[in-house]
Amino acid sequence: MVVIRFVCDVMLGRLTRYLRMAGYETDYPKDAEDDALIKKAAKTGAVLLTRDHRLFQKAKDHAKAFLVKSNDVHEQLDTVARAFRLQELAVKTRFCTACGEELQKVPKKSVAHRLLPRILERQTLFWECTHCGKLYWPGTHVKKINETLKRLSDQEKTGEKK
């Protein structure tokens, strides 16, 4: 199986979050210079996603690079999903959307003191970021994102049949 990972340029913060949510390892080095981004992609075998035409031209000789043309995050995700045949876009709770590190499942009682009572009442599954400690649970935002991802993934399937 080919593992696809990404490096996003500074203009692709929202796309980064979506890719992470869908379970794809995605670097988002906010302060990196063009050369650092290219080096990072080349070194890790990641695909450099960029909105910057100049950076794309420069990068494509050294690393896998992909020019993202749209300004709309849904269109961006759609193009990237098609181009790299990302299957079954769905929330995988694998990577932290804030920092991109791996999440690990944690028992409810170990995080109970950090949760609001209404969350504590309704949720049973929890994940914690191994790096920044951010907590995740399958709340309403996950449902919404899943719907978006599923719609995009369905569109792709229909598109392929034509």
The residue from 53, 131, 143, 157 that contacts Zn ion (CB under 5 A) is: 131
CB of 20 to Zn ion, least distance (A): 10
Identity of the residue, 50 or 97, whose beta carbon is nearer to Zn ion in the bound complex: 97
CB 38 within 8 A of CB 62: yes
Instruction: Tell me the per-residue interface mask from 70 to 89 with Zn ion, x by CB under 5 A, - otherwise.
Output: --------------------
Q: Rounded to a whole number, what is the distance in angstroms from the first to the last CA of the chain?
A: 27
10 φ/ψ angles, rounded to the nearest 5 degrees:
-60, -20
Compute the least distance from the CB of residue 26 to Zn ion, in Å: 12
Taking Cα atoms as reference points, which of 53, 14, 55 lies closest to residue 32? 55
Task: Note whether 122 binds Zn ion by CB under 5 A.
Answer: no
Question: Judged by CB under 5 A, does residue 141 bind Zn ion?
Answer: no
Q: Pull the structure tokens for residue 23.
A: 């379970």
